[in-house]
């Protein structure tokens, strides 16, 4: 096989992703800044690059508010070498995902050959499903999170095992597999489960290749030992550096109530099936063909079919265990989605028939209309269900810059308490207090035995910690208003979501004693700030040229 032929899948994959990225750019706010959670990463990346360590506020405590250590380190390098690190992260994501999908296409071409005439059809179906059912590229490329890196690692490890099942390695320890396994431990916390799954599969292949000889079982022991040492090193480092073994995302978001997680997890699966109905078909086919394979092969299972099916079910198990998240397009599903589509193609190749190209095109045309939010609707409306995530980041950065300008006359900028803690913290030069605990160690660990009640992933707020920390301004509601619109401003309205997230704190007598809803005017600017502010801060503010008007609180019943 020529070098050009080998590289073709990677070039095709890269060109395809560039085209898809243009579509995603226009349907998600035309922003290259990433989503708000990515901007939280960027706060840590910039601070680490500037020599402050892993901190959320410069000079503040070390906080484990990021999920992926590896992505934070990579991003820190981007901040060191460029004034536009977001562009570099986007380019890196395109390269990583292109390479991973190129490897998958190469695997399809080389291994799904029971029906040779279907090769082009398989590639069409693979990229067609990824393109027409939104979600994968939004999360792995444009979000600027670690999702693309995580997806590439899962694909790389899985292909290593699949290729080993075709041509069993006689090596007791596969160095490439081991390296990817250990790297995964600093990429995502769920790698603790995935790594156990992968090392079990890898060990089984070696043991089977040695006809289950007693010495061959040492392979599993070696992999397990390496896994244990790697995991212990990561958990020990986190505990020494941050004081806790897991990221704050676990403590601030994941409830210990299994039934509560199961409740949210079941609805998360329901959302997956609405966003991607093809998943229902793949689950049914994997069950059917797994049973059929056992019967036809006299109870000898097809390793590749079973392995890919188990990847599907591990993918679905994780959100059930953790309760999932609140994001559109089912973020937990996306990293392994290409492998799940590979399962569909494997079933088609092993148990199907020749598929005419016209039939495949018609199938993709049909599939393009079945998602709950389809590509055509997104493109026509120039938006998507996920677009507001980019809007939060962009709006947060603009708000932070305005706060810098608004309070520039003060000797020091006030501390702000916020709900969305990415873009606004990135651009604001004062102290930002994340009131949901992700970047606030004391808030995340306020009561480790509590049930995390409230909106999913927004339930970490603790009133007593809030009163103790007392941020100067509190964005329970409000924002900047042009001065021409402030003449009749008599009240500040608290929405249902904010009221639920902050547990109706504005009704507490203690809160009323400590905080007031106010309209703050800076005489030299043409806009004012409607916000909740601590009375101690307002006392200091009255000594300056700022004008303060107290407002009534209007809340939905």
Q: Report whether pLDDT(173) > 90.
A: no
pLDDT at 249: 75
- Under the banding of pLDDT at 50, 70 and 90, the label for residue 354 is confident
- For 237-285, the pLDDT digits (tens) are 999 999 888 887 776 666 556 777 788 888 889 999 999 999 999 999 9
**Token reading at 80:** 């060191």
Over range 321-335, report the average pLDDT.
88
Per-residue pLDDT at 450 exceeds 60 = no
Tokens of 394: 């962009």
**What digits encode the pLDDT tens for the residues 395-433?**
999 999 999 999 999 999 999 999 999 999 999 999 999
270 contact partners, CB below 8 Å, separation of at least 6: none
Q: In whole angstroms, what is the distance from residue 137 CA to residue 23 CA?
A: 10
Residue 289: per-residue pLDDT: 86
Does residue 42 sit in helix, strand or coil? helix
Cα 309 from chain centre? 23
pLDDT at 299 over 80: no
Q: Indicate the pLDDT class of residue 172, thresholds 50, 70 and 90.
A: confident
pLDDT digits (tens, 9 = 90+) for 141-153: 999 999 999 999 9
Q: Can you read off the two tokens belonging to residue 438?
A: 């992700």
Q: Which helix (H) or strand (E) holds 33?
A: none
Residues 229 and 217: their CA atoms lie apart, in Å, by 19
How many percent of the chain have pLDDT more than 70? 95
Tell me the Ramachandran region of residue 212: left when phi exceeds 0, alpha when psi lies from -120 to 50, beta otherwise: left
C-alpha separations of 203 from 180, 200, 255, 313, 515 in Å: 15, 5, 34, 20, 60
Expressed in angstroms, the distance from the first to the final Cα of the chain is 70
* Tokens matching residue 137: 């590229």
pLDDT, tens digit, for every residue of 106-122? 999 999 988 888 989 99
In sequence order, what DSSP letters do the residues of 119-134 get, joined into one string? Answer: HHHHHHHHHHHHHHST
For 14-26, what is the mean pLDDT?
93
Higher pLDDT, 445 or 50: 50
Burial class, 5, CB count within 10 angstroms (exposed 0-12 / middle 13-18 / buried 19+) = exposed
Q: What phi and psi, each to the nearest 5 degrees, are found at residue 518?
A: -140, 160
- Report the distance separating Cα 338 and Cα 101, nearest Å: 8
Which backbone phi and psi does 55 adopt, to 5 degrees? -130, 150
How many Cα atoms within 13 Å fall on the side-chain side of residue 211? 0
What integer pLDDT is reported at residue 253 of this predicted model? Answer: 62
Could you tell me how many residues make up the chain? 557
- The number of CA neighbours under 13 Å toward the Cβ of 169 is 16
């Amino acid at each position: 096989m020529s070098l050009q032929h080998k590289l073709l899948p990677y070039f095709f994959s890269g060109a395809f992703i560039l085209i898809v990225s243009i579509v995603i750019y226009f349907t998600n706010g035309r922003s290259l800044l990433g989503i708000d959670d990515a901007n939280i990463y960027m706060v840590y990346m910039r601070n680490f690059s500037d020599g402050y360590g892993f901190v959320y506020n410069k000079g503040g405590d070390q906080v484990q508010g990021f999920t992926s250590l590896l992505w934070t380190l990579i991003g820190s390098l981007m901040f060191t070498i460029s004034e536009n690190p977001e562009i570099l992260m986007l380019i890196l994501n395109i390269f990583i995902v292109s390479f991973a999908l190129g490897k998958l296409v190469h695997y399809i071409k080389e291994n799904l050959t029971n029906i040779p005439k279907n090769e082009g059809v398989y590639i069409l179906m693979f990229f067609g499903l990824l393109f027409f059912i939104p979600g994968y590229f939004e999360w792995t490329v444009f979000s600027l999170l670690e999702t693309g890196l995580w997806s590439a690692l899962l694909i790389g490890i899985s292909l290593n095992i699949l290729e080993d099942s075709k041509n069993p390695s006689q090596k007791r320890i596969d160095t490439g597999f081991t390296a990817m396994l250990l790297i995964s431990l600093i990429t995502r916390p769920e790698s603790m489960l995935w790594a156990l799954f992968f090392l079990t599969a890898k060990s089984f292949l070696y043991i089977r290749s040695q006809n289950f000889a007693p010495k061959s079982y040492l392979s599993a022991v070696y992999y397990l030992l390496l896994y244990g040492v790697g995991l212990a090193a990561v958990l020990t480092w986190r505990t020494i550096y941050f004081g806790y073994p897991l990221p704050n995302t676990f403590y601030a978001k994941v409830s210990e109530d299994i039934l509560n997680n199961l409740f949210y997890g079941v609805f998360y699966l329901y959302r997956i099936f609405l966003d991607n109905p093809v998943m229902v078909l793949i689950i049914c086919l994997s069950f059917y063909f797994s049973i059929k394979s056992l019967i036809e092969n006299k109870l000898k299972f097809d390793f590749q079919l079973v392995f890919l099916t188990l990847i599907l079910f591990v993918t679905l198990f994780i959100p059930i265990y953790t309760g999932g998240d609140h994001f559109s397009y089912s973020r937990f599903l996306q990293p392994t989605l290409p492998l799940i589509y590979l399962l569909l193609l494997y079933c088609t190749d092993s148990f199907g028939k020749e598929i005419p190209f016209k039939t495949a095109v018609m199938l993709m045309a049909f599939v393009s209309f079945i998602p709950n939010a389809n590509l055509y609707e997104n493109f026509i409306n120039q938006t998507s269900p996920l677009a507001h995530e980019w809007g939060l980041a962009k709006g947060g950065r603009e708000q932070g810059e305005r706060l810098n300008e608004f309070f520039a006359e003060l000797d020091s900028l006030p501390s702000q308490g916020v709900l969305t803690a990415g873009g606004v913290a990135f651009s604001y030069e004062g102290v930002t207090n994340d009131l949901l605990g992700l970047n606030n160690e004391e808030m995340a660990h306020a009561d480790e035995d509590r049930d995390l009640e409230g909106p999913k992933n927004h339930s970490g707020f603790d009133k007593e910690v809030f009163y103790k920390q007392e941020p100067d301004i509190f964005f329970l509601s409000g924002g900047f208003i042009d001065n021409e619109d402030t003449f009749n401003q008599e009240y500040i309205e608290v929405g249902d979501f904010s009221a639920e997230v902050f547990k109706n704190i504005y009704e507490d007598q203690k809160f009323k004693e400590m905080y007031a809803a106010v309209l703050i005017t800076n005489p030299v600017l043409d806009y004012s700030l409607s916000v909740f502010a601590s009375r101690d801060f307002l006392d200091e503010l009255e000594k300056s040229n700022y004008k303060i008007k107290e407002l009534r609180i209007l809340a939905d019943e």
